[in-house]
Structures are given as C-alpha cells and as structure tokens.
Amino acid sequence: MNWQDHIERKPGVMMGKPVIKGTRVTVELILERLGDGWGGEEILHAFPHLTREHLHAAQAYDADSLRTDEVVFLDG
C-alpha cells in the first residue's frame, strides 16, 4: 500500500492535518472511528465518498508515522 497515493497535507486544509486527497476527512478521524469500534463498512457508509483503499491508506500512514517516532526517556 502506497499511502502517498491517497493522503495529502496542505496548510490550508484542516490545519495541515493529513487528509484523504480531495476531501476534508482526516486520517485522525478514520483512526478514531476504528478505535471506537466502527467497522470499515460503517465508516464507508458514513462517508460514502471514501473507499476501502482510503481506510487502508490511513492505517498505513499511521504505521509509517509510528515507525519514525523517536522515544526519549528522561531520568526523573
């Protein structure tokens, strides 16, 4: 899955958050719905302009983002 084909970030769209290209649906919203227990079909029904590929792209974007996170532990 090449999430770059489906997700973009633009400063003037949703404050620069990653969105499904050509929409104002954020990756965050999709992941929140999945985390709340929504199934893919429920999301697609609520947002009929999305496709299953968009849902996969949101998850791939998230995985890529986590892969590049750096964790710093501070002694305290």
Give residue-wise pLDDT tens across range 12-51.
Answer: 999 999 999 999 999 999 999 999 999 999 999 999 999 9
Can you give the CATH number for the domain in which 38 is found? 1.10.10.10
- Given a cut of 80, whether residue 69 has pLDDT beyond it is no
Q: Are strands 19-20 and 7-8 parallel, antiparallel or unpaired?
A: antiparallel
Question: What are the percentages of helix, strand and coil residues in the chain, rounded to 5?
Answer: 50, 5, 45
Please give the pLDDT value at position 76.
Answer: 67
Considering the domain boundaries, does residue 27 fall inside one?
yes
The structure tokens listed for 63 are 């995985």
Q: How many folded domains does the chain comprise?
A: 1
Considering the domain boundaries, does residue 12 fall inside one?
yes
State the burial class of residue 44 (Cβ atoms within 10 Å of its Cβ: 0-12, 13-18, 19+): middle
Q: pTM of the full predicted structure?
A: 0.87
Considering the domain boundaries, does residue 57 fall inside one?
yes
Considering the domain boundaries, does residue 76 fall inside one?
no
Q: Do 1 and 57 touch, CB atoms closer than 8 A?
A: yes
